[in-house]
Structure 1
């Protein structure tokens, strides 16, 4: 029985800031951002948008009435939770109008939990092959204005439907997880921005990838030539390149050059959106499937990483007609509006955050289907417009 990703959809905000302009405003050379970090644009988040609205927006792009009838569970993976108790999945379930007999949970382990959600969903579907599971990886990466991590911010959500007879990617059984107690990145309960040791985190990321890959090879006997592409968690696109080069080293073979070319294809969307935390790996997968050289039957490797730290390497086989079951990400990104650095800073500071006061956001110029209208009596108010 094949189980895997049947459909995928991505959603981000309708605004972005150009990182060349941001670099000049911050007194930096643009190449530091576009080449050194590997980012060109970054999603800007209006105060009326958060992980709930973005997650609902992504899921609405792929769910049909028939899909909803078979849905048993919704899993939301995030490290941008909006409540210490109540799962964001419940808000999304309500906005999507899902049946009350649908299980709804939230998962957390930094950027890794999207992969945990996929693996948990695979197990649920294997136990009940008639059911499907909706996995949503939704996040807003915040490090603060004019901070070293500002250029690695971003926002968005990737929604995936996990089922038998998947039409995008059939997941193979062997996976390798690797976990250690590492303080490379964390966000205390009282903070809206993360703490990160960037250089150390990069080194840990590469180490975890190499450990997972080596163990995977020992178990399966597969070599690089058995893969059409390797995809990576991309908090910034240069990170994936560093991991791949840590494996390839000086290898200039045809196989190595193909993997390098496919990595470039997988980075295209992330360069225009920024860091998605839990969704970064899966936006990279979508970018590969829509921009790379990929054919039915190809094996793709996926490396997931979450600071703290946990990594996992697993694989999937591309299915026929896979492109029909992805939304047109390039078209969506092309329809966004560019905003100035000043407007980006204003919206960054307007987020609800840890504010406990009642607030009502102005929705008069907000045309999104799902919105955060504000907060009243310590309760977030969501609306479907």
Structure 2
């Protein structure tokens, strides 16, 4: 199937959906305007008359995105497609409890975690990014020339100057597409949300040129030996951004809270391990949650003319350092609803929370009794509204910038057949601190950008089943090697790719000038050569 143009007429106004041609009957017209895929992005004058004549003959309106005028109306800008990658290596939290000499249940119940992914010497945030971006482009048949903005969120520092985005440009340079805006965003776990907002704002702006935005969240969370080590994890998420998305933004309800605090930070540039004040970090997280929820509710009430409560959303998705904090966070929202409008709760639920109604904010963050009571009241709501989002976070661990969106992917994967018309509220938090609460409205979408197809491509159950479980001893040995390698130069990796799936990128060496070299399993070429497999790919989807 060759390149083609799309346009769409809507009742009450014309919305430009892409630079392709969409037949009213749903039939695709192939090869109508030449066989060169570059026709997708370039509209030479000599081809315009041919297109105009063809469109007129079938009763369609041709729209040239180079002269696009966006009329008022909902564009439903948001996430069109998603893919996730996490390392094939993991360690069981229960086994880690025994190895660390921790009390039984400290990690599995106290933290609420089941398993933790981690990178070996072959993988890092760059290799994971390359893998997930190429995977998304291939699975959704997106030509790299259809990407106009690429934003990366990460707090894992490989280079203090060169962005991860520049590494990913190899994919797009191969197709002569260097006209790609965007760069990395960094602030702890919030960078992915900043990257997402940047792409969405671009599509909604007068600067949009009609192409897709692409967001990548990639991180490897590792900690020094001690109580924080079980809260690690690693993953990369890629999200395609555009209009008429099945996961569309409700930007008008956004509530943000930012402040200066030292709860979690990485001042030692010679080490990838953070300095963590665990108790303060949890308090900051909950304080930011309260503030964002208050502002989110205020905007909802002003626009919709009614109070917002947890009953106005079908699902709540939280940044997930560990599951126990997610449980506490949702319970905190239930307590906020009680304070704001007690009548939203049943009589017995109100009676359980009434003893805490006059607490100050500071007191409420310290009260174990309130924490226990609010979680008890919230539990039946949690099982319905939050539990579906916990699949990947409980199995992979803290993915930093990718954590929130791995949780969103879990909801889509678990509930895709029942999500149409529903609302998902998101809470993003990054230490230091930055935080935002925002929401999505879900639509079925059109193939390939449909909820069912996103769920099918995510294929989370199979990906989780195919992992390889390392013993805690082997896990600790791997992290010791990574410690030694951090910031090192002039070395080669083992190149043992036996645990990697075909198509996975991996680190082969770092030379004497700190230049990193990667290869792709199943290809004899190196990144930067014609190895990405698009030459014979049919271009079927795009703006």
TM-score class, shorter-chain normalisation, is over 0.9
SS of the residue 1:139 aligns to: strand
Q: Distance in 2 between matches of 1:12 and 1:207?
A: 31
Aligned-pair distance for 1:88?
Answer: 0.8
Q: Distance in 1 between matches of 2:493 and 2:271?
A: 22
Contact persistence 2:334–2:378 (CA under 8 A): no
SS of the residue 2:142 aligns to: helix
Question: Are residues 1:322 and 2:402 paired?
Answer: no
Q: Distance in 2 between matches of 1:256 and 1:130?
A: 45
Contact persistence 1:248–1:256 (CA under 8 A): no
Per-residue displacement from partner, 1:120-178 (whole Å, max 9, x unpaired)? 00111112161211101100001123x11011000001111111111334443331111
Question: Are residues 1:298 and 2:422 paired?
Answer: yes
Q: Distance in 2 between matches of 1:171 and 1:330?
A: 30
Unaligned runs of 5+ in 2: 1-74, 302-307, 339-344, 350-376, 445-449, 522-543
Aligned-pair distance for 1:383?
Answer: 2.0
What's the TM-score once normalised by structure 1's chain length? 0.94
Distance 1:169 1:335, change over 3 A: farther
Q: Distance in 2 between matches of 1:43 and 1:26?
A: 17
Distance 1:364 1:224, change over 3 A: closer
Contact persistence 1:168–1:325 (CA under 8 A): no
Following superposition of structure 1 onto structure 2, how do residues 1-385 of structure 1 map, counting pairs within 5 Å? 1-64=75-138, 65-95=141-171, 97=174, 99-127=177-205, 128=208, 130-145=210-225, 147-188=226-267, 189-221=269-301, 222-249=308-335, 251=345, 257-292=380-415, 294-320=418-444, 321-326=450-455, 327-351=458-482, 353-366=485-498, 367-368=500-501, 369-376=504-511, 377-385=513-521
Contact persistence 1:107–1:117 (CA under 8 A): yes
Aligned-pair distance for 1:200?
Answer: 1.2
Q: Distance in 2 between matches of 1:79 and 1:205?
A: 18
Aligned-pair distance for 1:69?
Answer: 2.8
Contact persistence 1:90–1:104 (CA under 8 A): no
Contact persistence 2:254–2:299 (CA under 8 A): no
Aligned-pair distance for 1:203?
Answer: 1.0
SS of the residue 1:85 aligns to: coil
Contact persistence 2:190–2:434 (CA under 8 A): yes
Aligned residues: 384
Q: Distance in 2 between matches of 1:356 and 1:363?
A: 17
Q: Distance in 2 between matches of 1:244 and 1:255?
A: 7
Q: Distance in 2 between matches of 1:206 and 1:38?
A: 18
Contact persistence 2:76–2:248 (CA under 8 A): no
Aligned-pair distance for 1:234?
Answer: 0.2
Aligned-pair distance for 1:292?
Answer: 4.3
Aligned-pair distance for 1:231?
Answer: 0.7
Q: Distance in 2 between matches of 1:211 and 1:10?
A: 30
Q: Distance in 2 between matches of 1:104 and 1:92?
A: 12
Distance 1:119 1:39, change over 3 A: same
Q: Distance in 2 between matches of 1:340 and 1:259?
A: 33
Aligned-pair distance for 1:262?
Answer: 2.5
SS of the residue 1:61 aligns to: helix
Aligned-pair distance for 1:30?
Answer: 3.3
SS of the residue 1:157 aligns to: strand
Distance 1:333 1:95, change over 3 A: farther
Contact persistence 1:81–1:88 (CA under 8 A): no
Contact persistence 2:148–2:209 (CA under 8 A): no
Deviates more, 1:123-132 or 1:37-46: 123-132
Structure with bigger RCO (C-alpha 8 Å, 6+ apart): 1
SS of the residue 1:7 aligns to: strand
Distance 1:325 1:384, change over 3 A: same
Unaligned runs of 5+ in 1: none
Point out the structure with max Rg over C-alpha: 2
Q: Distance in 1 between matches of 2:232 and 2:460?
A: 19
